[in-house]
Structure 1
Amino acid sequence: MIGKEVIETKPISGAEVKEILEDFSNDNELNYEQNLTLNHLARFKRYSIEDSKEIVEKLQDEFGLRDKVAVHIVDLAPKDLADLRLIFAKEPKKIEKEEMEKILEFLEQYDIEE
């Protein structure tokens, strides 16, 4: 990547990445890494893009989570406390069990697309 520099980084959900790659592939040929990423994203169930953005926003506002953690939660769609604990394992901010249960209840409001 000679001559290129990163201007901004922002975590985005897998649903958004999938849409970006699909749109890009309509006009361009995907390279090897892009093809692998698109194939990987197509294999797993995901929230819709609208739901993903809404969930990330609410996780940040209501639960005070960082962008990166909120996006991990959306991408992994945890179903129980054990899964959610793994996401928070390396977080400096300690999350209480009650708050994790509230997050799981919140996620149950949204449907995962097949």
Structure 2
Amino acid sequence: MRILKAEYIPVPLAKKLLEENVRVGEESPLVQRTMTYLSTFTKCDPDVAKQVYEKLRNEFGLKDITASMIVSLVPRTIDEIRVMLDFEERLLETEELEKIIELLKNTCIKSSEKTQS
């Protein structure tokens, strides 16, 4: 396996890409450990994660790295989001942060609750 390109993507999308591109029985120990990690820390359905990621990028103007962290970690409070905003060149208003929390509650958190039921 070789690296074709590097970009910031949320954990659920990385898991989906790895599942789609690695053939069963051909995984190296590194790929197996990576899959274990991604499976453990995936908190959102990959399709939902992609939609939320795009929304964070397009509607809120967040950078790839910030949107990826938010979708990967699914913060539940404004303070948890603020920690992830170091890469942003502007400060987000509290209203925007509340909208992001609401977006996560209505998408990622709901999708993870459905899979746990």
Q: TM-score range by the shorter chain?
A: 0.7 to 0.9
Q: Offset at 1:89?
A: 3.1
Secondary structure, in 3 states, of the residue corresponding to 2:23? helix
Larger radius of gyration: 1
In structure 2, what is the equivalent of residue 38 of structure 1? 35
1:69 aligned residue: 66
Query: Are positions 1:10 and 2:7 aligned together?
Result: yes
Deviation at 1:8, TM superposition (A): 3.6
CA separation of 1:20 and 1:7: change in aligned 2, threshold 3 A: closer
Alignment length (residue pairs): 111
User: Which amino acid in 1 is paired with 2:46?
Assistant: I
Residue matched to 1:97:
94
Mapped contact 2:63–2:88 kept (Cα < 8 A): no
Give the stretch that moved more between structures: 6-15 or 32-41: 6-15
Percent identical? 29
Distance 1:72 1:31, change over 3 A: same
Match of 1:109 among 102, 106, 111: 106
Aligned to 1:63, what secondary structure does the other structure show?
A: coil
Q: Unpaired segments of 5 or more residues in structure 2?
A: none
Indicate conservation of the 8 Å contact 2:11/2:42, yes or no: no
| Letter matched to residue 6 of structure 2 | T
TM-score using structure 1 length: 0.80
Instruction: Give me the TM-score of the superposition, normalised by structure 2.
Output: 0.78
Question: Does residue 85 of structure 2 align to residue 88 of structure 1?
Answer: yes
SS in 2 for 1:89: helix
* C-alpha distance 9-44 of structure 1, shift in aligned 2 (>3 A): closer
